[in-house]
Amino acid sequence: MFIKWRALVFALLVLALAFAMVPTPTTSAQDGGSTTYVVQAGDNLYRISLRFNTTVAALVAANNITNPSVIYVGQVLVIPTGGGATAPAPTQPPSQPDSQPQPSGGTTTYVVVSGDNLSRIAQRFGSTVVAIAAANNIANPSLIYAGQVLTIPLGGSTPVPSGGGSSAPSGGGTGTNPPPVTSPGAGGGFELGGQTTGGLGAVGVMQSAGMSWVKTQVRWHRGDGAGSVSGIINDAHANGLRVLLTVVGFSGEMGDYEAYTNEFAAYLGQVAALGPDAVEVWNEPNLTREWPAGAVSGASYTRMLSKAYNAIKSANGNVMVISAAPAPTGFYGGCSGNGCDDLPFIQQMRAAGAASYMDCIGAHYNEGIISPDQRTGDPRGGHYTRYFYGMLDTYYNAFGGARKVCFTELGYLSPEGLGGLPGPFAWAQNTTAAQHAEWLGRAASLARTSGRVRLMVVWNVDFQGTEGDDPRGGYAIIRPDGSCPACGSLAAAVR
């Protein structure tokens, strides 16, 4: 009798959840009113505001949203409407099957509830993320929604990870990630650095700006040894700077993924033994420019990261390991093997256990045209990548506050002294050199006082002119006339 009553109570709870997830539109008057909307995969407040002819600010106010860049699938939003805007019909959840685990072998079904992800569901049923994704034709394993009915393959041939490892990625690599050789750290207070063209000709400018770190990108070909990196490390230390190496290979060499990532990790172990202060493992792996087409995923990257972390820490436990900063973008509208927006990419990383293999979350922010204090007001729209706080909140919260953020590139673009910008960067055409300087200093100050940022590397110190469509000289703190307007504001921010 107890078992029957428990089953009945469970069924009632599932039904209650289902009805709670179905929004009931309220009547909209022509001169104002409201309706409700269930957030779908790929939504953001800007897109929703366009759909309902309202504004991001109105949505934020109506729903008491503290971070406009963070909404979740299945969330029910109150939509202020007016001017005859017509709301789409609400999404109905599917019927509710029995969601209790069944004996191993065959399949069962399960109703997704708030807080679920495929990794947790796979562990609960003794299945795998890959098997569940395949059984349900899920293109993006990080996007499921409350009320969704999943077919769960039971007793599959792929074991559930144990001993601290995490599930294997799809689209590159097999097996489970290795247990971390040591727990992540990234202690210490906020520090400031800059990326240079490769040398330290501008070290005096960097020090006057309060910078204590220098970043250099290292390109690795299979078979390369680490000896050439020693000069970079020694020069930085000789000039009183700590050094961050962003090490990235070539996507065209990654055909045999497991062998490649083993070799790459071994190389990073050699680099770590030379004494750098931090290593960023790869660069913008959410783009096919840096990752093989058809295999882009946060889980695939995390497999590389897990091997790299263990190799680095085994060689030199003092090296800070930073995860690769994805390219900040909303271009793809989600994630596929041929490219990912940065938010679903880092969500996939978290689901694959990336937090166990990094001391700091890598991030890039380089498209701002308003003060970093502002959370709204960008004329291009409300996408979180437009805002300093949008990026900081999104990345920090994606890992539940478990890791600090390292901005391995943070810059503002000004055409002043360049004579104009390439077409793809015309959005920054009106930013002055004075604003460039002011906003960099303010970003450093906000990062330092937030308690959530370990490192901010200014993009960039001394690049000049343009390269193709890349106006890198417009980001430089050393302006075309040789002056450094940002040096004073940056130095004041870190004092």
Beta strand 32-38 pairing with 76-81: antiparallel
Given a cut of 80, whether residue 73 has pLDDT beyond it is: no
Bridge partners of 254?
none
Q: Determine which of 12-21, 136-145, 309-318 has the lowest per-residue pLDDT on average.
A: 12-21
- Least Cα distance to 335 among 394, 367, 385, 287 occurs for 287
Q: What is the pLDDT of residue 175?
A: 58
Q: How many whole angstroms from its chain centre is CA 333?
A: 14
Sign of CA dihedral 250, 233, 188, 240: negative
CA distance 76 to 66: 15
Sign of CA dihedral 441, 443, 444, 449: positive
- Least Cα distance to 212 among 468, 469, 444 occurs for 444
- Least Cα distance to 343 among 326, 357, 355, 367 occurs for 326
Tens-digit pLDDT profile for residues 444-462: 999 999 999 999 999 999 9
Given a cut of 80, whether residue 259 has pLDDT beyond it is: yes
Give the end-to-end CA distance of the chain in Å, rounded to a whole number. Answer: 69
Given a cut of 80, whether residue 19 has pLDDT beyond it is: no
**φ, ψ dihedrals at 488, nearest 5°:** -65, -45
Q: What is the pLDDT of residue 147?
A: 60
Q: Read off the pLDDT band of 199 (50, 70, 90).
A: confident
- Least Cα distance to 142 among 349, 443, 419, 365 occurs for 349
DSSP state of 40: -
Element (H, E) at 388: helix 388-398
Bridge partners of 282?
none
Spatial CB neighbours of 308, under 8 Å, sequence gap ≥ 6: 261, 264, 265, 268, 279, 281, 321, 357
Looking at per-residue pLDDT, the higher value among 155 and 70 belongs to 70
Given a cut of 50, whether residue 495 has pLDDT beyond it is: yes
Element (H, E) at 204: helix 203-208
Q: What is the pLDDT of residue 230?
A: 96
Place of tokens 């360049």: 418
Mean pLDDT of 50-55: 76
Is 282:301 a contact under the CB 8 Å cutoff?
yes
Q: What is the pLDDT of residue 174?
A: 46
Average pLDDT over the chain reads 82
Given a cut of 70, whether residue 158 has pLDDT beyond it is: no
Q: What is the pLDDT of residue 74?
A: 67
Query: Which parts of 288-361 fold into alpha helices (H)?
Result: 298-315, 342-351
CA distance 472 to 463: 6
HEC states along 218-274? EECCCCCCCHHHHHHHHHHHHCCCEEEEEEECCHHHCCCHHHHHHHHHHHHHHHHHC
Spatial CB neighbours of 321, under 8 Å, sequence gap ≥ 6: 184, 278, 279, 281, 308, 309, 312, 313, 357, 358, 359, 360
Element (H, E) at 33: strand 32-38
Is 263:222 a contact under the CB 8 Å cutoff?
yes
CA distance 49 to 67: 15
Beta strand 76-81 pairing with 107-111: unpaired
Q: Read off the pLDDT band of 341 (50, 70, 90).
A: very high
Given a cut of 60, whether residue 24 has pLDDT beyond it is: no
Q: Determine which of 6-10, 68-72, 425-429, 491-495 has the lowest per-residue pLDDT on average.
A: 6-10
Looking at per-residue pLDDT, the higher value among 125 and 311 belongs to 311
Tens-digit pLDDT profile for residues 385-402: 999 999 999 999 999 999
Retrieve residue 318's tokens: 């003092």
Tens-digit pLDDT profile for residues 83-120: 333 333 333 322 223 333 333 356 777 777 767 778 77
Q: Determine which of 8-22, 78-92, 107-121, 481-495 has the lowest per-residue pLDDT on average.
A: 8-22
Highest mean pLDDT among 7-11, 64-68, 122-126, 249-253: 249-253
Tens-digit pLDDT profile for residues 350-388: 999 999 999 999 999 999 999 999 999 999 999 999 999
Tens-digit pLDDT profile for residues 282-324: 999 999 999 999 999 999 999 999 999 999 999 999 999 999 9
Given a cut of 50, whether residue 5 has pLDDT beyond it is: no
Q: How many whole angstroms from its chain centre is CA 199?
A: 29
Element (H, E) at 81: strand 76-81
Q: What is the pLDDT of residue 446?
A: 98
Q: What is the pLDDT of residue 42?
A: 66
Bridge partners of 470?
467
Q: Is the pTM of this model over 0.75?
A: no
Q: What is the pLDDT of residue 95?
A: 29
